[in-house]
Amino acid sequence: MSDKLFRLDSGFQQYDWGKIGSNSAVAQFAAHSNKDVSIKESEPYAELWMGTHHKVPSYNKETRESLSDIIKSNPNTFLNEEIIKKFESTNTLPFLFKVLSIEKVLSIQAHPDKSLAKILHSSDPKNYPDDNHKPEMAVAVTDFEGFCGFKPLNEIADELEKIPEFRDIVGEEVSKEFVENIKVGSVAPGSEEDKSNRALLQKVFTKVMTASDEFIAEKADLLVKRAEESPESFNKSDLPALIQFLNKQFPKDVGLFCGCLMLNHCKLKAGEAIFLQAKDPHAYISGDIIECMAASDNVVRAGFTPKFKDVKNLCEMLTYQYGSVESQKMPPVDFKKSSGEGKCIEYNPPIDEFSVVETTFKGCSSGSVRKHDGLKGPSIVISTKGNGYLKYGDVKLKAEPGFVFFIAPETPVEFISEDEDFTSYRAYVESNF
């Protein structure tokens, strides 16, 4: 067995929002990569986890040793000294890599930053199992829909004026204050005008989130009726259908207001990505994505969920940044530490914990080679489409959909295609802080 490049077995989660049976990419990957997994066609398969997180750890496929134990046995080899020092761990990766298959809307949620995560974990370890932050990035594998961040304020103001149900929940006084006092146009981040905008947005959001369930239910019925009978009332043409669709999944839910009317409705094509900072509200609606995040499972939920809701912390913790969907997209760039045939693009968010590289061979012949230079930190690769190989020295491992690999630091690897569909994603961390 090579200690530089080896196959992993990765576990999966069956949350009720996952795609059902073989329709789920997660189920397909899990079953194809592990003969012991048998897909149950009536059950949801939501997430494939790749990494060292204690909740669903990955294992060396050959030795059955956990990746965490492997790293612990020789941290300098499997992490490197700089990463150990930066992230203060000798047995865990700083990132968690996932595949998500989404059939039903996830909860409207946000994730705490590091300081808040420590407080929440200390006071409520059951609901907040980690003391780490959780910025995350989603790369669409299929057409994807979600909510990401607060809309431009003028759009929210317009909805408060046009949608009486929304205005009723927020209240006349706060609605009027928001509409009349927000500053739109070129407002500098961190300026006094920006701070005032964020404070006003917090007032509106808090009013929605603290309204009684009975009041929300009453107004939700009217909102859905409006979406059915007067779609022209809404400032975005996709909102009426979205409200009706989500109401069928979570009838009379507060998410119809805080999600549909306050957050950006984001639609991504395959290959597009969004980055979500800690303390930014979001929710995924449908599609298959590659997701990477700092290694944490902390979630502060608000709507579209039967799980624990922490409205107080959510309303207090959000940054209340606002803006367009485009401002949250993560444009890919050429991955400079590669060469050869095929194509490598990188999604590189403004954080230390991870970047993600997509390697493809569209239009290339069988046997085409793309070389990745040795990177300074560890990485995990998942093959998602087509067939090929990963090669380091004399080690050559078959890569098929759902196959997952660990690559140690300073390990140059060749990606070799068997067909032009061969596609993989690589999450990595480097020690150039």
What is the set of active-site residues? 301
Q: What residues does 99 pair with on adjacent strands?
A: 48, 290
Question: How far is 161 from 235, CA to CA, in rounded Å?
Answer: 11
CB 99 within 8 A of CB 47: yes
Helix ranges, 113-238 (H)? 114-123, 153-162, 164-170, 172-181, 192-210, 213-229
d(CA 372, CA 384): 18
Token duo for residue 364:
């290339």
- Under 8 Å CB-to-CB from 281, ≥6 apart: which residues? 108, 109, 110, 147, 149, 150, 258, 263, 302, 314, 318
DSSP states along 39-70: --TTSEE-EEEES--TTS--EETTT--BHHHH
Name the CA dihedral angle for 269, 274, 280, 281, rounded to a multiple of 10 degrees: 10
Give the tokens for residue 47.
Answer: 């997430």
Strand bridging mode 95-102 / 263-268: unpaired
Tell me, what amino acid is at 225? K
Round to whole Å and give the CA distance between 427 and 372.
13
State the Cα–Cα distance between residues 262 and 221, nearest whole angstrom: 18
**Beta-carbon count within 10 A of 146 CB:** 26
Q: How far is residue 109's CA from residue 303's CA, in Å, rounded to a whole number?
A: 8
